[in-house]
Structure 1
Amino acid sequence: MTGQQLRHLGQLALPGAAIGAIAGVAALGLALVAGQPVDWALATGLALGLPLVLLGGGFGLLMAAGIISPGVFAPTALYWLVGFPVARLAHEVLVGLLLVGRPALPPDVPGFLAYQAIVSLGFAIGFSWLHERVAPGWLRRIRHGNPRAERLYLFYLRHAEAQWEARENRRQARAAGRGTGRLTLFRTKGES
């Protein structure tokens, strides 16, 4: 793999990785607000942020490869159904390693993973929402030097155009229905 190919992949991974980093910083901030010591807060931000950066970047690469489609939530939810519990387990292990010098597993690993899988849906919603807002602008900036970014950007563009057209059609249909002065939902008998 050439240096240029690696740079292109890094560019495609950047939006998801940035969202993972933001989640790590949020975990650090929440730990501080909750009254945890600064070293514990730093450890939790790093230990959760690092796996989420890697998984977020991986998400961007899967999207660029066409495995995950923009605008479709189910593949995103499935990705994070597996990825988020893995990130949380890595977080638990790394926090123990950073703070006491040895990895620490939660007492009930299957229960812990099951709970994290449930929580992953909320993370998937937030991640997807942020990614759908950040990625198109980034792809627009890098598309001229990155063929995969160009393809993905054009997909986003076609999707946005289809959404806009559907919204305009609904708006025009509502406006046409208002032209009679009464709701077309309630017609009298014999009226078509």
Structure 2
Amino acid sequence: MAASLTLPGGQGLRDNAEVAVPGAAIGLLAGLFAMAVGMMAGLAPAVTVTIAAGLGVPLALFGAGYCVLLARGVFGIGAVAPLALYWFVGFPLSRLIDSYAVAAVLGSDTVLDEPLLSFLALQAMLSFGFTIGFLWLHERIAPRWLLRVRDHNAVAADLVERYMEHAAHLNQRRGARGPRRKPSKNNS
């Protein structure tokens, strides 16, 4: 008799891992994008692959963590401020790991060209842009993924229910304000 792995709160590890797929995919996609930019800049293949892994893997782990926290109700659907705080920590750490990985591949004793606090401050500022991009992609990918897996995944089914409630709330708010666009005068 095999015991299934569960997280606190009785949720299955497999269900949470499946819910985490969209966030992990976005993190890996960001790493691949960084690799493509490195290739266009003419960096050595070993460096570009290191950039993809050194940045993509930590971003994927943080992205997966966001999805699990979203499923657990720590984050609200579409909430920017809490996610910005999450990436305020996660993005600079991911960039620092990336910098260490690239320095190791290059055989360099110097990881950063600037002081650590300056590096982290700049990455923290850049994290807000990453937050917006991550949230935009997540809100387009995750609902479709969750709809695919909800029949066999209770965590996904609960999250789909929250997305449906959120959508109903947004539609109700829009209805109270009237139409979003004014009719064009050219439509006569």
Quickly name the TM-score band, shorter chain normalised. 0.7 to 0.9
From 94, 97, 114, the counterpart of 2:121? 114
Aligned residue in 1 for 2:16: 9
SS at match of 2:64: helix
Aligned residue in 1 for 2:66: 59
Gaps of 5+ in 1: 179-192
Aligned residue in 1 for 2:54: 47
Summarize the alignment of residues 142-153 of structure 1 with structure 2, pairs less than 5 Å apart.
142-153=149-160
Q: Which amino acid aligns with 1:126?
A: G
Distance across 2 between alignment mates of 1:147 and 1:81: 30
Q: Which amino acid aligns with 1:157?
A: M
Distance across 2 between alignment mates of 1:126 and 1:173: 24
Gaps of 5+ in 2: 7-11, 184-188
Summarize the alignment of residues 59-138 of structure 1 with structure 2, pairs less than 5 Å apart.
59-100=66-107, 104-106=110-112, 107-138=114-145
SS at match of 1:112: helix
> What TM-score does the superposition give when structure 1 sets the normalisation length?
0.83
Equivalenced residues, count: 175
1:132–1:159 CA distance, 2 compared to 1 (3 A): same
Identity fraction in percent: 40
Which has the larger share of helix? Answer: 1
Aligned residue in 2 for 1:34: 41
Q: Which amino acid aligns with 1:165?
A: Q
Aligned residue in 2 for 1:23: 30
SS at match of 1:145: coil
Q: Which amino acid aligns with 2:111?
A: L
Q: Contact 2:46–2:105 (CA<8 Å) still a contact in 1? A: no
1:113-134, CA deviations, whole angstroms, 9 ceiling, x for partnerless residues?
0110000000000001111111
Distance across 1 between alignment mates of 2:178 and 2:41: 47
Q: Which amino acid aligns with 2:4?
A: T
> What TM-score does the superposition give when structure 2 sets the normalisation length?
0.85
SS at match of 1:144: coil
Q: Contact 2:89–2:124 (CA<8 Å) still a contact in 1? A: yes
Report 1 or 2 for greater relative contact order, CA contacts < 8 Å, sequence distance ≥ 6: 2
Runs of 4+ that moved beyond 6 A? none
